Amino acid sequence: MKNTIIFLLFIIALNGFSQTNATFNKIKYYFGDSINSSANIKSVAQLDSNYYMVVDAYVDSILYNVFIIKTDLEGNMIKKSTCFGSDTIAYFAADGNGLIIDSDSNIVVVGSYIYGEWGGFTIKLNRNLDVIWHQRYVFPDSLLPYSHTTPRHTNDVIKETLDGNYLIAGTYFIDTIYSAENAKLFLHKLDTSGNSIWLNTYTAYSGTDDIVISPDSGFYIPLGINNTMIAIIKFDLLGNMEWFTKVNSANYTSYPVNAHLLDSNYIVIVSAYWYDAVNELRALKVSKVNIQTHQKVWEKECFPSSILKNFGTHQWIELDVLSNNDIIIAATSIMVNHDSTDSGYKGVLLKLNSNGDSLWCRYYNGERKFDDICQFNDLLLTEDGGFLAVGFHLPHNFSNKYGAWLVKIDSMGYAPGGYTIGIEEKNTLIIKKVKPLLYPNPATSNFNLRFEQSPNEDMQLSIYNSAGQLVKQQQLSAFANEYRVDIGELSMGVYFVSLESNGELVYNGKFTKK
């Protein structure tokens, strides 16, 4: 009887492990071979046991096309929609917030097109990807003939309002003058048939990348003001401003900017900014605002790498909030490999608690060459407590075209091709970093960690292989000056070391086992 119970507990544990560790890292060419077709996932949502993705693609065309793709939970394509776009009309889906599944289980997609002028499109499909309607709209101040020097007006985000209609936000350029100063916000409300209800323009504010629907039928817009600050603005259901709070004190801020309700009392906002404009070094600002008092609660600076690459119209930051109010941020950064011989764009996932304290940060590669270009465009919370991050992969030598990139990540941030990195805040320390000497390196049967000052708290040491898998853990007692770690059972290769104290990451390092 005892052995039976143990066996049943083992089976239960095994099943639980398999459910919480179902991860993958895939590059998909949904339209044929990788030489003549491309696929760049812009946004993703889940309906039942299927993912729905809006994809920018080159498919036997000299211009961009847009497709909506239905896949299984492994990212395998089940069906694709008709092509939107042609050799004479270019379609571009909006990044990150360009696709929703509405309350009637329909898929609604927004983006922009070029056909003699810049315009916006909205497409509504049912779950079988049959088109219900397809509407095109002319942006404010966009009637001049198109050229590469004319404004790039964009539909940037769509959300369903509490009355069942749709709200679109985007950017237009005053008097068709293409400059940062003339990039302004517009809001466009549509009914369920795609007809315009109202269209408002705002000359005081820059464009936005997100809309947060408020329980009172209004909405919050995070946006830039005069390229000097990021603010959160509360609008009523007709688009009239109710209040305004500055949330970002960086000297220079820019898109993208994203927000999410933390609970009924708070909203959290993330944006990119230059912390060193001379050397073009970028990082993240994260702020929390009390929506009852309209006061900023805290502001944090996060440095997942020295150069954050989310600083343009085609690069993205995605923010979401878990049920326990932990904060998840997806971004793209330039990372350098362990021996500093190569660097490349990598997807980044950062987890904070509701006070803005770092819990962990990982970066993800496309599992090919390190200097390949890998970018996250959207992030989806999955039912197993993990995440699906999507975007594109592009080989460093351009031997193939863009491939759709899908990374299924577990709740702790682990996935194939995932690596742990440290995060440091510039003004207020997010992670108190200690710098022990790790030697010998390379190591054979063991390595040592020597501290200049003895830690005054116990620490947990974790070792991960190059695929981001945990291979060893042990406790290090407080007040010792040096620790020896046995690695005799590990295979040859590169490994990453982290030290945690009271649930907080305090050190990241790496070593080679020879």
Which DSSP symbol is given to 139?
P
Distances (CA, A) of 257 to 9, 89, 168, 241, 350: 46, 29, 15, 19, 16
Judge whether residue 503 has pLDDT over 70.
no
Judge whether residue 384 has pLDDT over 80.
yes
Residue 306 has a pLDDT of 59
Sorting pLDDT into bands at 50, 70 and 90, what band is 313?
very low
Residue 282 has a pLDDT of 78
Judge whether residue 292 has pLDDT over 90.
yes
Q: Classify domain 437-513 by CATH number.
A: 2.60.40.3080
CATH topology of domain 24-420: Methylamine Dehydrogenase; Chain H (2.130.10)
CA 97 to chain centroid, in Å, comes to: 11
Residue 161 has a pLDDT of 96
Query: pTM for the full model?
Result: 0.76
Cα–Cα distance for residue pair 416/469, rounded to 1 Å = 8
- Per-residue pLDDT tens digits for 34-91: 888 899 999 999 999 999 999 999 877 767 799 999 999 999 999 999 999 888 888 9
The candidate with the shortest Cα–Cα distance to 420, out of 344, 500, 316, is 500
- Per-residue pLDDT tens digits for 385-435: 999 999 999 888 888 888 999 999 999 899 988 888 754 333 332 334 456
Sorting pLDDT into bands at 50, 70 and 90, what band is 172?
confident
Average model confidence (pLDDT) for the chain? 82
Judge whether residue 216 has pLDDT over 50.
yes
∠506-512-514 over CA atoms, to 5°?
150
Residue 30 has a pLDDT of 94
Residue 347 has a pLDDT of 92
Percent of all residues in the chain with a pLDDT value above 70, rounded to a whole number = 83
Judge whether residue 11 has pLDDT over 60.
no
Per-domain residue ranges for the chain? 24-420, 437-513
One fold for 24-420 and 437-513: no
Distances (CA, A) of 72 to 41, 52, 97, 246, 481: 15, 9, 21, 42, 52
